[in-house]
Chain A
Amino acid sequence: MLEITIYSISGQGGVTAAKLLALSALYDGKYSQAIPQFGPERRGALVTSYVRISDEVIRKHSRIRNPDIIVIFDVKNKVEVNSKIAILNSKNNITLNAEKIYCIDANKIASDLGLIKEGLPIINTAMVGATAKICNISLNSVKKAIADEIKDERNVKAAKIAYEVVKCD
């Protein structure tokens, strides 16, 4: 089982990203789970969402305490990294306490496509694309999941670009 924790700022679409990853995994024939942060939502606050992906039925429903992968939408937020893999929305390389760090310039991908809302780039679909690649989810499933959930097809493009940019070992 693969466990992923996503840190985002409320309004950045971290909860939607978790759902899109879980849905992509389902389209790949896996079992999956997306857990949002529970409780009242506050714009601008740190939001934690969780994703589980497995070949077997997932029984547990607790939130993830020791993720395999941490995804950070806004690196200005200091979060504790305790995972093997970290995926960051950043154009520069950043050193963190993780064995493998992937930096993806999701801001640029979104901005280039004109995916901007209230002056801020909509980066969640690019981050889904990058994360899906690292999780071995097929690009077709990612595209289908995003097309199912989001009308603006530039989101599919953002995910595809990010998926193809990430270099996996």
Chain B
Amino acid sequence: MGQKKLLTGNHAIAEAVKIAKPDVIAAYPITPQTPIVEKLAEMTENGELDAEFVRVESEYAALSVILGAISAGARGFTATSSQGLLYMYEVCWWVAGSRLPMVMAIATRAIGAPWNIHGDHNDIIVLRDTGWIIGMVENAQEAFDMTLQAFKVSEEVSLPFAVGLDGFQLTHTAEVVEIRDYELPKRKLLPHTIEPSSKFALNAVTSGIPKLKARHEQAKDLEKAKEIIKEVDKEFPVSYGGLVEEYKLEDADYIVVMMGGWCGDAKDAIDLLRKDGIQIGMLRLRFLRPFPTKEIEKLDGNILVVDRSNSDYRGVLGLEVSAIKNGIKNVITGFGGMELDTQDFVKIFKKFVNNEIKDVEWWYGSAER
């Protein structure tokens, strides 16, 4: 058993990064991510962490610095949120397309306009098509665990890894986190690591077939990441179940599909409904990319997807799941820091069980519409 500490989600990530010993950290502050890189700056300053901490003038520069560093074989880390992620978006494609590993924490937050600094999932979902591995955690412990695992998975498949944690609800809540006894291997050098003597250029101009092939290889490796995520999860001191966590699914007639920090409140709601004899369970998505297609195909029951982001009139997870399963219900809610607690989930799940939820329903709770 490792030491138990009281840590916010942000500081849990900083503690995990310290164990991963990155060579280079570059970051620009943005709420609610800032305490992660503040803590890492403190650690590098007082000698706890031997890393190059590069202060930059923007998120675009932050990820560009990391792109350069990881091209040269360094282990790199950054963190951002919301508008910051959008500002570095172009470089996100360069990192993934260059087939370079790194870890970025995303403290998920609403995107303006209208202006809002609070939590939802509309920022992290913009990474869907880039080729990044995208995880979402449920609590500070998982933020710690997934961050450590992220370096390993990312370096195995040469794809960057984003660890998502809900802004404020997880980033700023302090809870008990066990510091795992876990050693991370040194980063392996890739054939395309750039050194002063290298006689090749990274990212030459491509046209047609080579571009298709590069993107195809990237997609195949993202698929391959599924097995590696499961292996790394299994060898870790605690297993979460790989791409998904199954909660009371064995005999469930009703299945809710969700991801992120609100799943704890929803699990408590499931327990309350089960006391009333309702056979309900949860498939918690730990990963948005690679998407757990097989785990969703396997589901046998009525499905409700609860989303904290949207695309068009539907929720983003709703769209993803409905590509695999017919007849699902989709609730969209929790934007801009709107918080749902156990009683809210009891209400939604009861409506779902009573077949009173529309195919797509924007849920306002008891608030005025």
Contact = CB atoms under 8 A, between A and B. Distances in A.
Given A19-B6, A34-B174, 19 more contacts: A22-B6, A22-B174, A26-B4, A31-B175, A33-B174, A34-B6, A34-B175, A38-B118, A38-B168, A39-B117, A39-B337, A40-B117, A58-B264, A59-B265, A61-B139, A61-B169, A61-B265, A62-B169, A63-B339
Contacts of A76: none
A23 B4 CA distance: 10
15 contacts: A19-B174, A23-B6, A26-B176, A33-B173, A38-B32, A38-B337, A39-B168, A40-B117, A59-B265, A60-B342, A61-B169, A61-B264, A62-B265, A63-B339, A65-B343
A31 B321 CA distance: 35
Interface string B256-280: 0000011011011000000000000
A61 B170 contact: yes
Interface string B324-356: 000000000000010111110000000000000
A121 interface: no
A31 B176 contact: yes
Nearest to B177: A26
Given A38-B172, A39-B118, A59-B267, A26 B6 contact: yes
A36 B175 contact: no
B175 A33 contact: yes
Contacts, number: 71
The list of the 3 closest CB pairs from A to B, nearest first, reads A59-B264, A62-B341, A38-B168
Given A31-B176, A32-B175, A62 B337 contact: no
A23 B138 CA distance: 21
Interface in A112-144: none
A33 B7 CA distance: 9
A98 interface: no
A35 interface: yes
